[in-house]
A and B are shown apart, each in its own frame.
Chain A
Amino acid sequence: MSLQISSVQRGPAVVGILIALFLLTFLVVPVGQVIVVAFQDPSTGEATIINFVDFFRNSLFRESFFNSFYVASMSVVIASIISMPLAYFTTRFNFGGTALIQTLGIIPLIMPPFVGAVAMQLLFGSNGSVNLLLDEYFGFTIPFMEGLNGVIFVESIHYFPFILINLSAALSNIDRSMEESAQNLGANGLRLFRRIVFPLAMPGYVAGAALVFIKVFDDLGTPLLLNVNTMLAPQAYLRVSSIGISDPMGYVISVILVGFSLLSLWVSLRALKGKDYATVQKGGGGLMKRDLRSWEKVGCYAVVVLILMLVLSPHFGLLLLSFGTIWSYAVLPDAFTISHYITVFSTATQYITNTLLYAGLAALFDVILATAIAYVVWRTDLVGRKWLDYGATAALAVPGVVIGIGYLRTFHSVDVPLIDQPLASWWVIIVIAMTIRRLPYALRSCVAAIQQVSVMLEEAAENLGATKARTVWRIVIPLMSGGILAGFVTSFATAAVELSATIMLVAKETDAPLAYGIYEFMQSAAGRGPGAALGVIAVLFVGIGTYASHLIIERSNKARESTSIVAEET
């Protein structure tokens, strides 16, 4: 018996060790090489924790820590308010354009670097379109983009898709019979949602909320865009990237960011502990969808359209920027042109193909790794399995520039056989950096998905004689498909606009991805239009990909639904 168990565990154990090696090589070692400075006495080089003592003694850092915590918590609240109606309406009711809404809902995640910031400022800045209009007609302005509240505003509309995607995936995974039983017992409306539907979708919500919290806590782009310096991530970045000075505090903050992210992940896992979210029946294809009365429909559409208008406004600004000639201190650009697109298509098409290749590969690796990690963590009792989850998630908190420097330091002396050039300057290293940086997104989705799959289904398959591998392939993965797809989409979308690590690693212009192209354009006044055009193209490609995958899900759900109805009838 015991021999049998170990032979059953052998496969997962090998997979687990391989993943651990991968994480060790491409995350722990390179990052460790950089942040070791945090544990060195700056004057003698001896091992010490004095730098951490300095951190907690410093009032600026304590203030930054508090600000980051406040912003991250508030962003989770606002992001939940934005995403819940979208997720609930589209999964609960027969609603025209569900795939479209779900697709538009992910677009905010793809905020191309630099141009996205310019577009936001032109719309919501203190002299942006909205405030210019308000000032002209009502004589007041609203500081959307000022201070910590500005950061919360931008972060929420940027990262709420994490909750939307994971919550939607979880909602459509709920067993319909649970809902029916509750209804038979007399529950309906809000009570049904509060007591049955939402609790069952909890793993998805927590996965999304944890991502939002950690991501906002570690996010660099938004505070820098709003020039809020008293938060942790910008403090780390500013200290790591200044010329000539290299302050160990930058690395100390990185270590603290990693530590705190892991702590919040652990808390979120605790919150789900001791409860079982798995449901056995999968044939029903999620919640019962009901038709809306016409006035209800109007109300729902109004809410959805309002939310989408708010969250997509930055992209609308981006679109204007890409077609505009000069846009300066005005509600709209002075005139419109397509010349920026011509510039992009005549000089920058390789950036687009490179990005599709890199982000596609990275997202593919991510879902493979994430599915494997989720399986090892939740379906085996291997020693230290949780550390795979923690390790992979830690990547979320490591600033991209640290990964970039770490890769150069570790892999520049490693030559790739056959092509005879350093690994650090081979394009594959960019894919690996993206894979590592976006793995946490795919991982949370896959973990949430596997929590909703009942182990009984696998036991049944094995009792019927299926091997472990066959069970995983034919039962577990198909049942997790919604979560896997959600993971693929988030990883792909966010990898497509990754900049901070890739900019360190690009060794040849022909290998450069799109974000680098945008950066290059955005170095000069004349490059703003073409940069925005490139950004719009990135958004379009990711949008089309997402839409296609939603159509695929919808179709397969429908197919499943009809077969199950046939089964019920016979």
Chain B
Amino acid sequence: MKKFMTFGAVAALAMSIVSTTAMAAEGTLTIVTSFPKDLTAVFKTAFENKNPGLTVEVLNKKTSAGIKYLQETAGSNTSDLFWASAPDAFEVLKGDSLLAKYTPMAKGIPDKVGAFPINDPDGYYMGFAASGYGIMWNTRYTKAKKLPVAKNWADLKDPVYHGHVGMSAPSRSGTTHLTVETVIQGLGWDAGWAEWKEIAGNFKTVTERSFGVPDGVNSGQFGYGIVIDFFGLSSMGSGFPVDFVYPEVTTLVPANIGIVKDAPNASAAGEFIEFLLSPEGQELLLDPKIRRLPVNPKTYAKAPAGFPNPFKDKSIGAAVKFDLDLSKNRYNVVNSLFDVMITYRMEDLTAATKAIQEADAAIKGKSNPAAAKLIAEARALVAKVPVDEATAGQADFNKIFKKKRKKATDKVEGRQAEIEQEWDTMVKANYAKAKELAEKAKSML
């Protein structure tokens, strides 16, 4: 113990020296970000080299923790920039008026990537790179288990993939939310959810953080992951035996940056944004450990062979016209529904799906209308969504899930817990019943 104490004392002394020098340094730019060090370090070094005398302080926090951090410290804000993927995280901050307006001067950046506007129309945050969702798979895994390549979301519904797929929950990761919403908008409310549940019936897991998916595929914990492109591309760049493909239905979304309101070093923050959007900054995105799609179309001239180019290859992210307002209006309801129906009831859902898949296999080539009817019923029960599209989009209904009441006089009817309990009861009963029906059908064959 004595050893510890003397060591601690020495370390304390060393630390106090370190922290005083760090404080004495002038011109600090503090960036709160959810991006990995592989990305931030490249830009930090490049920007510091361009601006001697300026120190870039990078604070790495999960997107949700970053939002909470900015909300809680708003009273005496010490952060200059918020730098993260999901546009909806910026929407939350904008809604709390925690962002400052900025108009970038950089030239040569189009208005849209795919169907998505690159910059916030109100000017509170701007996109600097584009990303789309896709399917990534571990080639060793698929070879060992003799699984075919899945090229589209619908492929993942196939029974061969049962227990081999992983995804993150939309309530944990804003970009996952956009994928869920894209498929729902593409197919319609009921068919979209049915599609998701059929895919989710093959899930091995719903991971708690979005990086958990590429991590699981890289390790071979599961074979296929529904991931944002740079996770797939950078895993390949780091040498993992994985591959990545964009399905036909995907949305390209900009990853963004915005200046925090009352930023202590707002001028440096503006310069950083300009640097990010400059040809030099855009080119840094092509680094094999970063691999994000630049928003400046000219930068693609310098990209390695086979690098996807959304400005040229119109098939990426063009199949769905993404309705941002629709997505915004029902944002919380979609997240909560996904959690209640899929994340929290994973076991029930996969069990019901397995039973249906087995009954399907048994009926193949046979004609048994009674059994076929039971299977169809079971499928319909699994697909059932507790709320219809109109209700899900209602402003009043969404308020129940909202973070906080704006004023003390605001009143909301109903409680989230109450509603989720209703949904849960229905969903659980449906899954159990579906399993029973499918098993009955199988026994008839």
Contacts and interface: CB of A to CB of B under 8 A. Distances in A.
Given A508-B22, A522-B211, A413 B15 contact: no
A178 interface: no
Interface stretch (B97-105, B266-274, B417-425): B417-425
B109 interface: no
A219 to B, nearest CB: 14
Contacts of B58: 509
Interface string A336-371: 000000000000001001101100110110000000
Interface residues of B, number: 103
B305 interface: no
A58 B220 contact: no
A42 B412 contact: yes
Given A58-B417, A503-B62, A525 B57 contact: no
Given A244-B88, A330-B140, A523 B171 contact: no
B332 A245 contact: yes
Contacts of A485: 1
B373 interface: no
A523 B417 contact: no
B239 A238 contact: no
A528 B38 CA distance: 12
A507 B76 CA distance: 13
B8 A247 contact: no
Interface string A118-139: 1001100111100000000000
Interface string A485-503: 1001000100000000001
Interface string B108-144: 0000000000000000000000000000001011001
A492 B7 CA distance: 13
A241 B208 CA distance: 10
B411 A246 contact: no
Interface in A397-446: 401, 404-405, 408-409, 412-413, 419, 421-422, 424-425, 427
Nearest to B414: A43
Given A422-B76, A525-B234, A511 B19 contact: yes
Interface in B419-444: 420-421, 424-425, 428
Given A243-B86, A523-B35, A545-B4, A353 B208 contact: no
A127 B142 CA distance: 12
Interface string B391-414: 000000000111111001001111
Contact of B11 (A353, A508, A522, A527): A353
A270 interface: no
Nearest to A401: B65
A58 B38 contact: no
A362 to B, nearest CB: 10
Give the secondary structure class of A's interface. helix
A488 B174 CA distance: 41
Counting chain A CB atoms within 10 Å of each CB, the highest count among B63, B89, B343, B415 belongs to: B415
A9 interface: no
Contacts of B61: 503-504, 506
Given A243-B171, A510-B22, A488 B403 contact: no
A149 interface: no
Contacts of A238: 169, 171-172, 208, 339, 343
B367 interface: no
Give the secondary structure class of B's interface. helix
A506 B412 contact: no
Contact of A54 (B68, B215, B417): B417
Interface stretch (A450-458, A513-521, A561-569): A513-521
Counting chain A CB atoms within 10 Å of each CB, the highest count among B57, B215, B404 belongs to: B215
Given A243-B86, A508-B22, A520 B37 contact: yes
A551 to B, nearest CB: 10
B240 interface: yes
Given A54-B421, A229-B346, A510-B22, A224 B208 contact: yes
Interface stretch (A79-87, A169-177, A321-329, A373-381): A321-329
B67 interface: yes
B219 A42 contact: no
B271 to A, nearest CB: 20
B18 interface: yes
A71 interface: no
Contacts of A357: 8, 11-12, 14-15
A356 B10 CA distance: 11
Nearest to A326: B239
B405 to A, nearest CB: 6
A526 B411 CA distance: 49
B89 A243 contact: yes
A443 B133 CA distance: 49
B235 interface: yes
B59 interface: yes
Contacts of A126: 204, 221
A330 B416 CA distance: 45
A121 to B, nearest CB: 5
B219 A122 contact: yes
Interface in A42-100: 42-45, 50-51, 54-55, 57-60
A510 B18 contact: yes
A527 B69 contact: no
A242 B171 CA distance: 5
A60 B88 CA distance: 28
A294 interface: no
B219 A328 contact: yes
A548 interface: yes
A528 B35 CA distance: 15
Contact of B417 (A55, A424, A506, A552): A55
Contact of B37 (A244, A427, A521, A528): A521
A232 interface: no
A204 interface: no
Interface of A: 42-45, 50-51, 54-55, 57-60, 118, 121-122, 125-128, 147, 224, 227, 229-230, 234, 238, 241-249, 325-330, 350, 353-354, 356-357, 360-361, 363-364, 401, 404-405, 408-409, 412-413, 419, 421-422, 424-425, 427, 485, 488, 492, 503-504, 506-511, 516, 519-528, 545, 548-549, 552
15 contacts: A43-B400, A43-B414, A51-B415, A60-B344, A122-B219, A242-B335, A243-B174, A248-B416, A325-B239, A329-B241, A401-B65, A413-B76, A427-B15, A525-B215, A549-B4
Given A524-B38, A527-B38, 6 more contacts: A229-B206, A238-B172, A245-B171, A245-B401, A249-B416, A412-B76
Interface of B: 1-5, 7-8, 11-12, 14-15, 18-19, 22-23, 34-39, 57-65, 67-69, 72-73, 75-76, 78, 86, 88-89, 92, 138, 140-141, 144, 169, 171-174, 204-208, 211, 214-216, 218-221, 231, 234-235, 237-242, 289, 331-332, 335-336, 339, 343-344, 346-347, 400-405, 408, 411-418, 420-421, 424-425, 428
